[in-house]
Structure formats: C-alpha cells, structure tokens
Structure 1
Amino acid sequence: MKKSTRSFAALPMALVLLCPPVCIAQAQGTFAAPGPQPEQGLLLCALALGLAGLAAAIALLVLLLRRHRQRLEGNLTKPRRVLPICMAVFGVLSLAAGGIIAVNVLPRAQAYEGAINALAHRELDLCEQQLAQLPEDYADTPQMRSYVAALRLQQGEDFQQAATLFDSLGAYRDAKDQAIQCRVDRAWQLLNGEKFDEAKSVFIALQEEGAPGVEDCDKEADLRKAQSLQKAFKESGNVETGVQALELFKALKQAGYAPADNALYEFRDLAYYLGLDVLDGEYPKWDWEDAYAFFQLSDNLYDSHQYLHMLDLLADPNLTDREKCDILVSDYWSNHRMQELLFESDWFYYYLDGEWKNEDGAYFYFENLDGDDCILEQNIVDTQRFDELILTGYRCYGDKKLLFMVIRSMINPNEMTILDYTTGEQTTLTRQR
C-alpha cells in the first residue's frame, strides 16, 4: 500500500478512535452543569455519536477500497474480517444511539427554548403551553412556572400575592426586582383607593428597603389624605375635619414637600370664603360660630383676622348692642360686608339713632327707645297722609306702601341719603350727633 493511501485511511480511523472519548468528556462536563445544560450535553453527545458513526462508515469504505485494490494487484493476503465487522458494528450503534438520543431529547430542548423566548417577550400563554410539554422537574421549570404565575398575578393587579410569590423565588431571574415593583404598585393601588395610611406604611417600608423612586411617596400619601379631608370639610363644615386637614398641609409644607405649598394656600382660601358665605347667608345650616371657626382655619389669610375681631366683638357679653354698633361703625366701616351686616340687622336702628341734617334745612331725627318703640321725625318725605308708619330696617312704609329708603355712604359712616319713592328725589344728610 502506498504511503498516501495509508495516510488517507488513517484520518477516518483517527476520527473513529477520538469521537467516543470526546462524546464522553462532553457529556460528563455538561451533565454536571446547572439548568438546561444536561439536555444540551445529550444533544452534543448525539451529534458526536453521529459523527463517530459517519467516520466509522468512511473508514470502513476506505478499508474496503484498499482491499479491493490489493485484490486487483494480487497482493491481497488472507483478509481479516474482525476489524471491518467491528467498525461496521460501531458505526451502526453510534448512529442508532445518536438518533435515539436526538429523538428523545430534541423536543424537550425545543420546548424549553420556546418557553424561554416566550417568557422574554412576556407571552405568558405561549410560555405555559411550552412548559406543559416538559416534565415537572425539568431543569428550572418549577421556578419558571412560579415566575409565570407571579407575572399573571401582577398583570391582574393582585400585587400583594404577586410580591409574595416573587419573594419565594429568591435570586431566580429578576424575581427580587419584580417583588419590589409589585410592592410599589400595591402601595399606589392603596393610595388610589384612598387607603392613605396603609399606603404610607408600605411606602415607608419600601424606602427603608432602598427601593428606587419612592423617596417622597409617603408625603404624597399624606397630601392626598389632607385633600380628601379638605373635600369632606367643604361638604360638611366639620371643623375637626378641617383642623386635621390644616395640620397635615402645614406639616408637609414644613417638611419641604413642594406640592404642599399651593395645597395649603387652596385650603386656607376655601376656609376663608366659606366664612364669608356664612356671613352672607349662603349656608343657612351654619351660623356665626361656624363662620368664626372657618376664619380661624384660614390661618390669617387675607383680612380673616379682621372678621375674627368683628365676630369676637359681636359675641362679647360685656357690651350692649348699642356699644357694639358704635364700635363697628367707628372701626370697621371700610368693610363693606360689615356694612351689609349692620343694615340687614336690628343694629341698624342703633346706627340710625341721632339727628341728621344738611345745609338746605332738611333733617331726619330718629331715637331708638327700649323695646320696639322709636321716634321718627323728618321733613324730607310727605308722610302726613298715612295713618301708620313702619320702619323695617332701612325701609319706611306708610300703610304698607314703600315711602322712602335709607342709602348708606360706602365711605363716610356719618353720611346717608334718603330716597323718596313718591317723588324719586334724593336728599343727602350728615350726622349731627
């Protein structure tokens, strides 16, 4: 046999000898690896066995061609049948073993790979279908099934159960991060459901845990609670509810939570105008005591302090009505709402009490006596032909017919105008005493 022929035949023989130990080494190495590596090792083993069988077939073919050539040259000695038979048997067994392994292992490997890809794209239905084709204990499928179940709960907004399931997976994939995200989502779920205190507790726990993006969320929970209390206060006028809201707003502002600045102002503004509406009679269910409480809740906004002083004055048991009226006129006449209050109440008679004149000789004299009696004298409106004169507030009626009306000066409390409804003429007078 020529040297080139022998060299050509040596290559297949070397493959036949090398493939089995390579397969064994690969299988031993991969069988010890975690996760899906054992199945990958078996697939590599099947491939190696197939290559070994193919190499044995090539080597056998080369050997048979060599012997045929020797027979033609007349150099063929007694043929040795053991080696060809062994090579044929080895090749057949290698191909058969590789095929059997591939047929049994490949579907599971493909199903596992499909589950991995489906999970990566969050196609949970497809992932579950692929996992259903795998044994219960195949690679990491038990953890993957739990992971998919947790994702299902998360998508269904059952964040608390999802977080518990993710926690049970430990360091599997990104289960720790997912558990934190579920607790964050749960906290927002509680907050949006107006469970403010529960949400705040969860946010504080997340802050202690070092969760990202929740730095001021506990303050946001308090802010929303305060706004909810503000809404309830506006509807009910309950002062205790208003106090709770005000304290929360002020605490948040003091803590430096920026959104609380405007929220606090809006609450104080609401309380102030509620107080004004009560004084204007917009809310019959509330009285001046409620108005006083509302002005207190406005926390010195605008001129609320002035209304508090006025209401303190009106409630002072040590002053007579006349004294209260005199103080209101002298100290608070610039407040037009106080003027309305004075003219629409019985205190108007104390304001009107005295002598009023002008340079043309017109005069108006009124004396408020004890009880319902009073003395009224004037030369501005003709009232002689009426049997009964009745002064109701700032309107005077003669036999139930409106005769004249007193119009106040918005600037000077010691000046007023008499409007004669009979003639339409107006006469301005100045207080003399």
Structure 2
Amino acid sequence: MTASEPDYRCIIHIDADAFFASVEQRDNPDLRGKPVIIGGHPQSRGVVSTCSYEARVYGVRSAMPVSQAYRLCPNGIFIRPRMERYKQVSDAMFDIFDRYSPVIEKLSIDEAFIDVTGEDGVGIAVSIRRDVRHELGITVSAGVSYCKFLAKLASDSCKPDGLKYIPREEAQVFLDDLPVARLPGIGPKTRSKLETLGISTIGALRQMPEAWFVRVFGKAARRFQDMAKGIDNDPVTPWREPRSISEENTFETDIDSMDTLQGHLAVLAQNVAFRLRKARLKCRTVGIKIRFHNFSTITREHTLSEAVSSDAEIFNQAKTLLEAAAPDRPVRLLGVAAKGLVPETSRQASLFEPPGSPWDDISRSMDELRRKYGKPVVLLGPSLKSRRGHRPKDPPDWTP
C-alpha cells in the first residue's frame, strides 16, 4: 500500500439489474419471468439496449443487433425504449442514494459510486437495496470495498440482486484469478498483448517488477501496478451538488416521550452534521420532520444567520424546532434535514470575532475518531437517551 492511500475509505458501487427491462416488468407484471428485450422491432436496424435475465439465457446481450437477438430468441418480447420513464425511475433511485450520502458519482442512468466513509458500508448497502426494492419494485446489486474499482468488481461478481463486500485483507485473493481484462483500462488489444507475454490473470500481473510495468504500460505503469495490488486512490466525484442532507428514523414502537424523542433527535443531528462535514459543506437551514402514529406528517424549519455544520449547532436548532412543535400524539418517525447548503469556506469573516464556531474544532476531532472506529464513537449527551441501558441521570444540553 502507498503511504498516501487513505486506510478508512468505504465505497459502495450500485448497479441496477437489467434496468430498462426491469422497469418494463415492474410496470407490466405480465412481463415478469419472460424474455424482455429493449431495442425496438425485430426487423429494425437497431441494437439491444438491455434485456431481462430470461433473455440472456438465449445468448442475447446489450449492443447486439436486434435482428440477431430475434434469431437467438424468437419468442422474446421486443419493446421500444421509453427513456422518459426510465429517467423517472432513475431519478427516484438516486433520491434514495441521497438519503445515505451526499458524495455520489453518477456513472450512468442506473449506476453510481457512493462514498460512505466513516459509516457501516455493508449496512448502508443493505438499506439501499431494500429501499429500492420496496419503493421502486426493481433490484440492484451492490459492491462494497475500500476503493472504487474493487467496489465495482464486487457488484459485478454478485449480479443479479446480490451484495458482496471485499475487505482490504481479502482484496488480493479476490483479484488473483480474475482475467487481466477486468482491470479498468485494459481493453482487447492490451489483453491480447499481455497474453502473448504469458500474463492472463491479475495475480500473474502483480508479480511483475516495476521496470516491466514501465516498459509495457509507459506513463500508466504506476496506475496498473497499483490496481494489480488492490490500490486505487481515485476519489468519488459528486455528479451534482446535493440540495439537502437528511436522516430519519422510523421507530419500532411509537414514542410519546419528549426526552426519548430528543435522544433520537441528537443521533439524527449528529449523523447529518457528520455527512455535511464529510462533503465539506455547511447549511443555512435546519429542518425536522415528524410523522405521527396515524401517518399524518408535519415539518418545521428555520434559517440561520450563519451557515453551520457542527453536531451541537444542528442539534440545538433541531431541538428548538421539536420543542416548538410540541407533539401531543405518539410519534412514528422523526427526521432531521440540513438545507441551503454552501461550501464550508463560504463564511464571511467578521471584523469583531474569529471565523468559525467554537464547536468546529471539536467536531473535526470527533470526525477523526468516527472515521477510525466507525459511528457512533463520541455521542451528544442527549443521544444517550435513545440507547437502551445508557441513559444518564441528567445529561447536559450542548450549548456553546
């Protein structure tokens, strides 16, 4: 490993399974279990956009001429693409991703990297897969690892409808027997060249000396040598600025105690604040959502004079909103949202006070612990009320 490589990254790769065909089968249940081929009429000159797994059994593949797909699967159901519909479902899917991280790199209409560093990546992947299945009626496969290309290889290896985690200590074993063409950037020509040199697997590639990589790959030598060792420092690059960051919790049983609600609110506020800082953002508006036992829902929000991102400041504002809402019925769901997002460096300096909140340094120190040990490590006092068996007698409020 290189000294500069972060040890704590956690990356999820999500890829929808046969996305266009799955949407058609979702919208028309009569198509379920049948070979669906997206690409137009069999006599057209078009190509297959995608096809269901039932059609793949016959050898049908994406980018294949539709006429060839018809010869392979004459009983297939050929459907002209409905791109507007697929975009609607894709937007809804990416909205689900937004619930779990603001750092999302969109690769295509149905595929993304999600950076969840400092959090339980496998648990988040499980939640995303569950939410997509329940809310959208389609399935996605997920790969979880410490770098992007391994997360993608993991999701590729468990399709359809699977989840695979590759921890650092298992990376080289996972890579050893894979064909060299599975490394990003190695196409047919390079693969053929490597095979003539006796290199057909990633494990064999990794054994070659540095001078050999330079001779074969030129300027890209370090990149391929690193990947063969399971090293990939490429960051997840957000595809757009997030509009908001939120966390919510649906309780196993309805809650009618303000103390208990404040405990859960503290946990939610801390998670939102952590995600803000991870994305190098602050928020100008803090909001809460309360859903009651009868599913009626209210929201409250307040815009601040200064953008904030510390646990304490977001919790204190959310707590004020909760107390003002004064819920008088059992609560089923509670949520905290950060809106009006701005870069963390956008705060205007004052002539009469030092820049930044007194809690910013504390929050950054807590973030380092969280990245190292997972969440939660350091808790806001009130959040202990939400943890069974850990309720302090009189936990102090966090006020500067």
User: Which TM-score band applies after superposition, normalised by the shorter structure?
Assistant: under 0.3
For the pair shown, the structure with the greater C-alpha radius of gyration is 1
TM-score, normalised with respect to structure 1: 0.18
TM-score, normalised with respect to structure 2: 0.20
Decide which structure has greater strand share. Answer: 2
